[in-house]
Structure 1
Amino acid sequence: MSTELRIRNESAATAEADAVVVGLIPAGSDGNGPTLAPGAEEVDAAFGGKLAEEFALAGASGKADEVVRLPSRGAVAAPVVVGVGLGKPDADGKPEPEQVRRASGAAARALAGTGTAVSTLGRIDLPAAAEGSSLGAYTFTAYKGSNGNGSGAKNPVERVDLLTTADDGEETLRRCAAVADAVRTARDLINTPPNDLYPETFAARARELGEAAGLEVEVLDDAALAEGGYGGVLGVGSGSSRKPRLVRLRWSGGDAPRAKVALVGKGITFDTGGISIKPAANMDHMTSDMSGAAAVIATTVLAAQLGLPVAVTATVPMAENMPSDTAYRPGDVLRMYGGKTVEVLNTDAEGRLILADAIVRAGEDDPDYLIETSTLTGAQMVALGTRTAGIMGSDEFRDRVARHAQATGEGGWPMPLPDHLRPDLDSRIADIANVTGHRFGGMLAAGVFLREFVPENLPWAHIDVAGPAFNSGGPWGYTGKGGTGVPVRTIFAVLSDIAENG
């Protein structure tokens, strides 16, 4: 069940709803309690100009993600007024889009089980309020009880009406709802357990999504992969009874595409580490090791749905990395698609092997840009934490992608690909090894490895989302537990930028 979003232009005080949402900003240096964010003027007037004081008495501070409820006692039409903290605004006193997005998400989470809510946050930033409301209301209940809800589980808020005076409100809402739906699709794929989502079924789901959006779809099974020489995908998938796949989705870009963009996403549907097996603790989180694939599939479908004038081709390798008597081993040499050989020193560095095949294949389409994303290294979390992606690649395009990652609120930081790490990947018997012999700069070394397979002079970016793709902690803002859908919004923002500016 998803939350319906609507546009309304009326007084928040008289709007018929189960709750009205207003924004709160932390107190200034006077320390007199939170102040009301713009857009709540009618509600404040209905409370005799004392609404901020009422929230202060209820313990509200206005800090980010804080949600405080007040009974309206008939002052406004809605029985409840919900104050949600925006956090400290910028120097001009206006909340940033990400603050509105997070506040809207926190409010939507808190309103689970509610019928209709009216939000004044749309008056501050309509796109951010729409995205935050939709993503914050997301729940994954497919495996919760026979009715999909589970014992004691609450349905998401049924509808959020966003108050705005914007002339293009309906079109803005349509676009934002489509973006949010793409993120929700990626989340659904990530949250589906690996006994139900494995290469064959993942490929079938990608085909279903792609064909529904009018995309060209091609699926290579294990026999086609062997005939085509995809040694990386086949090697990683050799230990599983569930055979690997490679999916290609293509959006034409309409009549006059501005550019051609290749998207590549890692689709390891479950990662035990293979023969180099992982510790048992938290191995269940490896259901998310296909987050990059989910993101590029959802984004390619989104580009088609919104008619983006950019030709987008997604190349998505899918495999399950399991230990067995048929599994690839440390010491094996794989012949990758395109002919380069790789010595496998660690079978738990499997993502870069399937991505190498996919990157070479994507390069054969002669794209103008290439974006690849993957839950690639634990070193990403060591370096940048669980909410900031590491972005590597060709300098100018890397920085362009990072700017969009930061602007969307998904977060990302440009990182280098030092040439001095390349000799550490030298192999005794092959063209390159899949890991270095040390633990230093692991995120960067993985990027250096991938660079070996990118066509020369092609602007490209590698987005390592090992931490940001899956939230194993408590909910915050518009992000619940489990799959986050990062970096769908980043990639779509880059595609939109390319559509406009080339």
Structure 2
Amino acid sequence: MTSISLTAAATGKADAVVVGVYATETAKGVKGVALAPGAEAVDAAYGGSLRKALDLLGAAGSEGELTKLPAQGDVKASLIIAVGLGKAPGKDGGVDLDALRKSAAVAARSLSGKAKAVFALPAADAEQAGAVAEGVLLGAYAYQGLKAPKKDAKGALAEAVLAAGPAAKQAAVKKAVERAGSVAGAVNLARDLINTPPSHLYPKTFADRVQTEVKDAALPALTVEVLDEKALAKGGYGGIMGIGQGSAKPPRLVRLAYRHPKAKQHLALVGKGITFDTGGISLKPSNAMDTMKSDMSGAAAVFAATLAVARQEVPVNVTAYMSLAENMPGGGAVKVSDVVTIYGGKTVEIMNTDAEGRVVMADALARASEDEPDVLLDVATLTGAQVLALDRLSAVMGNDDALRTRVVETAKAAGEEMWPMPLPEYLRETIDTPAADLSNMGSRMGGMLVAGLFLREFVGAGIPWAHLDIAGASYNEKGAYGDTPKGGTGAAVRTLVKLAEDMGAAK
């Protein structure tokens, strides 16, 4: 794991030093770059010709562009990396924090295998310093996997030093960097869980990991309860039991609770935790299973976010539920047309066993509603329809327009992309069935919205609720970009932490 520290000098000894550059264009249309704040000391040590050297190399300053050049003069690092930050802010505009965070991540990712790098990027205040630190820690992430160790294997950047000049308010900067470490650590924990092979991560081991993390955190305000298959059956959790009964590895429901003595609001979170999804009896095509180890991304997100909130001692109460099951087509698997009874008594006819996520989450939503939270959010890799509609953007639905808007705006502030979606009432009748209170399948058209309408049925009366479908955002099969790696992304963690912080700060 990459460590991060602060320095007042950007010219200390290191393997590399990172500076920022903005894209510029003269009145005659000549394009070039301008050095961003933070690069002054490096430029001076370079002999004052750093910008000229970058122009000669064709640097454009576009967001995330990397230009590498050997150090010279009094620069003690052996390598200088200039990372593009996009267009320079106008006279009245501030630094684009999202661009700063993502560009810092790109630079950190390029430093794989380096022992130490100094980041001389804009860090004039706590917000900028926090964005750089978060980007560095997100970009430096590398899943270690289960490979046999090799002597020449390249790991992530070992140490990042953030250059925050003497003009910066050091106490606030230090606090912002510490927060960035907590948040990025939570995102990277979720990424590790998502990337873990299903042979090693299944309901019991996921629950064990939660218990281990809580024990290691040693925070009295943080408690965990795990319901095994016997407790689930006795408690009436028919959704989780029904989906999990086709696997040799039985399901679990994990309840992680954080309580703060000064909390005035209570946030409840529910995460889908299908540790592997074959589709059950409604078997998926083989090529549709390639990424199904990531079907527990929602549970990973609510777990990691709650842990980060507890470690920062945010004055808000948080209760997170993780519905954990393997969806397998074993001899005991739930069948099409079977009816299961959800916690609280509602019955569901299973018309497609590959629409299992909403079924296991129904139990947790009903149980979470009993806690009477001020806000209830669920996070799930729920539908393929979401991916078709929004690609890598997450969708937000809910029973409260103000909350839906708040979640979308919070996501933007946290550096994530989410889009508001409706819950059209005319689609509700498509999940009616004569055999049970409702069916787990409805209209194929608007499938993402139908799934949201299904979940709404299990939210307690009067509780503001939002549903985050992160199917497209949770796992990146392509190349890394910005602050997003290949593989598990840790989607929604930053949004959940920011929302909890905002609730804790509310008067």
TM-score by length of 2: 0.94
Q: Which residue of 2 aligns with 1:402?
A: 408
CA deviations 1:381-405 (Å, max 9, x no partner) are: 111112x110111211111111011
SS of equivalent to 1:26: strand
Report the alpha carbon displacement of residue 88 of structure 1 after superposing the two structures with TM: 3.0
Q: Which residue of 1 aligns with 2:174?
A: 170
SS of equivalent to 1:34: strand
Query: Which of 119, 132, 136 in structure 2 is aligned with 1:133?
Result: 136
Q: Is the 8 A contact 1:263 1:314 kept in 2?
A: yes
Q: Which amino acid aligns with 2:318?
A: V
Report the alpha carbon displacement of residue 8 of structure 1 after superposing the two structures with TM: 0.8
CA deviations 1:251-296 (Å, max 9, x no partner) are: 112x221211111100000001111111111412000000100111
SS of equivalent to 1:266: strand
> Does residue 454 in structure 1 map to residue 459 in structure 2?
yes
> Does residue 360 in structure 1 map to residue 366 in structure 2?
yes
Which whole-Å CA distance do the structure 2 matches of 1:419 and 1:341 have between them? 21
Q: Map of 1:24-35 to 2, 5 A cutoff? A: 24-28=21-25, 30-35=29-34
Q: Is the 8 A contact 1:122 1:130 kept in 2?
A: no
Report the alpha carbon displacement of residue 45 of structure 1 after superposing the two structures with TM: 3.0
Q: Map of 1:199-348 to 2, 5 A cutoff? A: 199-213=203-217, 214=219, 215-253=222-260, 255-348=261-354
Report the alpha carbon displacement of residue 338 of structure 1 after superposing the two structures with TM: 0.5
Superposition RMSD in Å: 1.5
Report the alpha carbon displacement of residue 375 of structure 1 after superposing the two structures with TM: 0.5
Q: Which residue of 2 aligns with 1:495?
A: 500
Which whole-Å CA distance do the structure 2 matches of 1:153 and 1:57 have between them? 34
Report the alpha carbon displacement of residue 7 of structure 1 after superposing the two structures with TM: 0.8
Q: Map of 1:54-203 to 2, 5 A cutoff? A: 54-91=53-90, 92=92, 94-123=94-123, 125-145=128-148, 147=149, 150=150, 153-164=153-164, 165-168=168-171, 169-203=173-207
CA deviations 1:321-343 (Å, max 9, x no partner) are: 01122111111111111100111
Report the alpha carbon displacement of residue 122 of structure 1 after superposing the two structures with TM: 4.8
SS of equivalent to 2:444: coil
Which whole-Å CA distance do the structure 1 matches of 2:136 and 2:65 have between them? 15
Would the alpha carbon gap of residues 31 and 381 (structure 1) be closer, same or farther in structure 2, given more than 3 Å must change? farther
Would the alpha carbon gap of residues 163 and 452 (structure 1) be closer, same or farther in structure 2, given more than 3 Å must change? same
Q: Is the 8 A contact 2:46 2:73 kept in 1?
A: no
CA deviations 1:160-182 (Å, max 9, x no partner) are: 11111332222221111111111
SS of equivalent to 1:193: coil
Q: Which residue of 1 aligns with 2:424?
A: 418
Would the alpha carbon gap of residues 466 and 151 (structure 1) be closer, same or farther in structure 2, given more than 3 Å must change? farther
Which whole-Å CA distance do the structure 1 matches of 2:144 and 2:320 have between them? 29
CA deviations 1:106-138 (Å, max 9, x no partner) are: 111111111211111252510110001011111
Which whole-Å CA distance do the structure 2 matches of 1:452 and 1:244 have between them? 23
Report the alpha carbon displacement of residue 198 of structure 1 after superposing the two structures with TM: 0.4
Q: Map of 1:29-48 to 2, 5 A cutoff? A: 30-48=29-47
Q: Is the 8 A contact 2:45 2:73 kept in 1?
A: no
Which whole-Å CA distance do the structure 1 matches of 2:194 and 2:14 have between them? 34
Which whole-Å CA distance do the structure 2 matches of 1:28 and 1:232 have between them? 60
Report the alpha carbon displacement of residue 32 of structure 1 after superposing the two structures with TM: 2.6
Query: Which of 389, 392, 398 in structure 1 is aligned with 2:394?
Result: 389
Q: Which amino acid aligns with 1:490?
A: T
Which whole-Å CA distance do the structure 2 matches of 1:308 and 1:94 have between them? 28
Would the alpha carbon gap of residues 191 and 289 (structure 1) be closer, same or farther in structure 2, given more than 3 Å must change? same
Q: Is the 8 A contact 1:86 1:95 kept in 2?
A: no
Q: Which amino acid aligns with 1:117?
A: A
Q: Is the 8 A contact 2:36 2:122 kept in 1?
A: no
Which whole-Å CA distance do the structure 1 matches of 2:406 and 2:376 have between them? 13
Q: Which residue of 2 aligns with 1:479?
A: 484
Q: Which residue of 2 aligns with 1:4?
A: 3
Which whole-Å CA distance do the structure 2 matches of 1:345 and 1:57 have between them? 64
SS of equivalent to 1:246: strand
Which whole-Å CA distance do the structure 1 matches of 2:152 and 2:467 have between them? 41
SS of equivalent to 1:62: coil
Report the alpha carbon displacement of residue 93 of structure 1 after superposing the two structures with TM: 5.6
Would the alpha carbon gap of residues 90 and 446 (structure 1) be closer, same or farther in structure 2, given more than 3 Å must change? farther
Report the alpha carbon displacement of residue 233 of structure 1 after superposing the two structures with TM: 0.2
TM-score by length of 1: 0.95
Report the alpha carbon displacement of residue 465 of structure 1 after superposing the two structures with TM: 0.5
Which whole-Å CA distance do the structure 2 matches of 1:66 and 1:156 have between them? 20
Report the alpha carbon displacement of residue 435 of structure 1 after superposing the two structures with TM: 1.2
Would the alpha carbon gap of residues 151 and 467 (structure 1) be closer, same or farther in structure 2, given more than 3 Å must change? farther
Report the alpha carbon displacement of residue 347 of structure 1 after superposing the two structures with TM: 0.6
Q: Is the 8 A contact 1:474 1:480 kept in 2?
A: yes
Would the alpha carbon gap of residues 361 and 69 (structure 1) be closer, same or farther in structure 2, given more than 3 Å must change? same
SS of equivalent to 2:247: coil
Report the alpha carbon displacement of residue 64 of structure 1 after superposing the two structures with TM: 2.0
Q: Is the 8 A contact 1:265 1:293 kept in 2?
A: yes
CA deviations 1:38-67 (Å, max 9, x no partner) are: 221222233444322211222321122221
SS of equivalent to 1:117: strand
Report the alpha carbon displacement of residue 94 of structure 1 after superposing the two structures with TM: 4.3
Which whole-Å CA distance do the structure 1 matches of 2:431 and 2:151 have between them? 52
Q: Which amino acid aligns with 1:235?
A: G
SS of equivalent to 1:468: coil
CA deviations 1:201-230 (Å, max 9, x no partner) are: 111111111233332111101011000110
* Structure 1 unmatched ranges of 5 or more: none
Report the alpha carbon displacement of residue 152 of structure 1 after superposing the two structures with TM: 5.5
CA deviations 1:4-40 (Å, max 9, x no partner) are: 1001112x2x322221101122233633312222221
